[in-house]
Structure 1
């Protein structure tokens, strides 16, 4: 059975360590051959917008743009539909490769056999 990991990150610049942990775990899982789906919700939604990850700083942490690039190379990043709407972010505003989807898709992914889910 394939290893699958769904990660929901709710933190952004408001909680930098928690935010960085989510992206780091996702990138390490992808590099380890795990099928990863990273969900951007709440304040992390802004990282779906080009250039926003470059503004994020946390000492001794991998640069967020590099982590996003590695996750997109072999995994999936999804921006929450409602979170995007609250921030007036549209499909035209986001990084290529990021999709917008809602809770139904999250639940479907998280409930797939063999999937582990984490929330940060």
Structure 2
């Protein structure tokens, strides 16, 4: 059984390198066969909306939309419900494969057996 990895990214373009690192680690873990759950919180919530990941740019980094696609091949991407609400983001605004959920779901995931959680 593959290990599970939950990655929470708490920043967006305001901290581009840290943001990109979270997406890169999540995509690399998915490519390695881990069950990955990527959580978009704070300013990262915007990347759940079509076009936002595509507009993110960081020199020498894989584009976020490509990293998100890699995660979605075998994992999930979730936008924090409170973060979405504060930004006026609804389920209908999200790109395909991205959902909205709250802290209870996050806590359930990170407390599972054999789960590694990382927060960026």
In the alignment, structure 1 segments of 5+ residues that lack a partner are none
The match for 1:61 is 61
CA contact (8 A) 1:71 1:77 kept: yes
Alignment of 1:1-120 (within 5 A): 1-120=1-120
Kindly report the root-mean-square deviation, in angstroms, between the aligned alpha carbons of the 2 structures. 0.6
TM-score by length of 1: 0.98
Q: CA deviation at 1:2?
A: 2.9
Q: CA deviation at 1:9?
A: 0.3
The CA distance in 1 between the partners of 2:72 and 2:95, in whole Å, is 10
Give the length in aligned residue pairs: 120
TM-score by length of 2: 0.98
Q: CA deviation at 1:73?
A: 1.4
Task: Classify the secondary structure of the residue corresponding to 1:60.
Answer: coil
The CA distance in 2 between the partners of 1:96 and 1:30, in whole Å, is 18
Task: Classify the secondary structure of the residue corresponding to 2:2.
Answer: coil
In the alignment, structure 2 segments of 5+ residues that lack a partner are none
Q: Deviations over 1:15-73 (max 9, x none)?
A: 00000000000000000000000000000000000000111000010011100111111
